[in-house]
Amino acid sequence: MRWTVLTLFPEVFRPPWSAGLFGKAVEKGILEVDLVNYRDYAEGRHKVVDDTPFGGGSGMVIKVEPVARALLELRTKNPKVHVVLLTPQGALLNQAKVRRLCGHGHLALLCGRYEGVDERIRRLVDEELSIGDYVLSGGEPAAWVLMDAVSRLVPGVLGSEESVCEESFSEGSLLEYPQYTRPREHSGLEVPEILLSGDHQAIARWRRRQALLRTVRRRPELLESLSMTEEERTWLLEQERFEGD
């Protein structure tokens, strides 16, 4: 997978991509990261990339021309690139969108700064995404979040392919079951006996039920999108009934 990040602050991206699993994936050529600075596409001696908003108001707005030039060059060289504008006004990122984005071989992420970007830049992108209902000072952390979530699904990036199959949101909107490791007991808290039984079928059933219970208790709004058997539904209702007894 190839990533292009368009930003005024390319230096922000160097450390995360040179460490850990992603650093190794870059070394192996599984991931490729290009950083593009809008300033390189700005004209004039001062290479101005932002300006005050028409109509008044505080702050600066990223200008359309440098971004348009950068994107024109990018699209000419890479006609299949999928361009995403990071903005708090975009569609909310979730695991289904992460999976879909992973299908693109080349993603370009457009980071805003200051008061945001000139409205006409929206016409130049393929989609607009937000990482949550809050406002960051720049698109770079949002780009990093998106790159992390998508890149870990690229085959060969994580050590074990299995680890992405069973985690939260891998099956629709289900949260992951509780995980334990050594020791068996800590401050009176014991690992559930079933996980030590060696009975893989029983463990799989326990995990599935715990995942359902955890999702219903922590994120009840996800309940509607969960598919479950009649037996699981009855079991869940029983847990809710006895809760607090």
Task: Decide if residue 8 touches ligand SAM (CB under 6 A).
Answer: no
Question: How many residues of this chain interact with ligand SAM, rule: CB under 6 A?
Answer: 20
Task: Decide if residue 131 touches ligand SAM (CB under 6 A).
Answer: yes
Question: What residue number has its CB nearest to ligand SAM?
Answer: 112
Nearer to ligand SAM, 7 or 215 (CB): 7
Among 25, 70, 98, 111, binds ligand SAM (CB under 6 A): 111
Task: Decide if residue 49 touches ligand SAM (CB under 6 A).
Answer: no
Taking residues 76 to 95 in sequence order and writing x for each that binds ligand SAM by CB under 6 A, - otherwise, the string is: ----------xxxx------
Nearer to ligand SAM, 10 or 116 (CB): 116
Task: Decide if residue 142 touches ligand SAM (CB under 6 A).
Answer: yes
Structure token digits, residue 35: 């950083």
Among 58, 76, 80, 135, binds ligand SAM (CB under 6 A): 135
What residues contact 10, with CB distance under 8 A and at least 6 apart? 35, 36, 37
Determine the Cα–Cα distance for residues 44 and 74; give it in Å rounded to an integer.
21
Burial class (CB in 10 A: 0-12, 13-18, 19+), 87: buried
Nearer to ligand SAM, 136 or 191 (CB): 136
Task: Decide if residue 10 touches ligand SAM (CB under 6 A).
Answer: no
Task: Decide if residue 66 touches ligand SAM (CB under 6 A).
Answer: no
Smallest distance from ligand SAM to CB 116, Å = 4
Determine the Cα–Cα distance for residues 42 and 27; give it in Å rounded to an integer.
32
Cα atoms in the Cβ-side hemisphere of radius 13 Å centred on 84: 30
Task: Decide if residue 137 touches ligand SAM (CB under 6 A).
Answer: yes
**H-helix or E-strand spanning residue 79:** none
The per-residue DSSP string of 10-33 comes to GGGGHHHHTSHHHHHHHHHTSSEE
- What are the helix (H) ranges across 3-94? 14-17, 20-28, 64-77
Smallest distance from ligand SAM to CB 129, Å = 7
For tokens 């457009």, what's the residue? Answer: 110
- Taking a C-beta distance cutoff of 8 angstroms, is the pair 87, 123 a contact? no
Task: For residue 3, report the phi and psi dihedrals to the nearest 5 degrees.
Answer: -120, 140
Among 16, 53, 138, 178, binds ligand SAM (CB under 6 A): 138
**Contact range with ligand SAM by CB under 6 A, out of 128-136, 156-164, 188-196, 232-240:** 128-136
Contact residues toward ligand SAM (CB under 6 A) are 86-89, 111-113, 115-117, 130-132, 134-139, 142
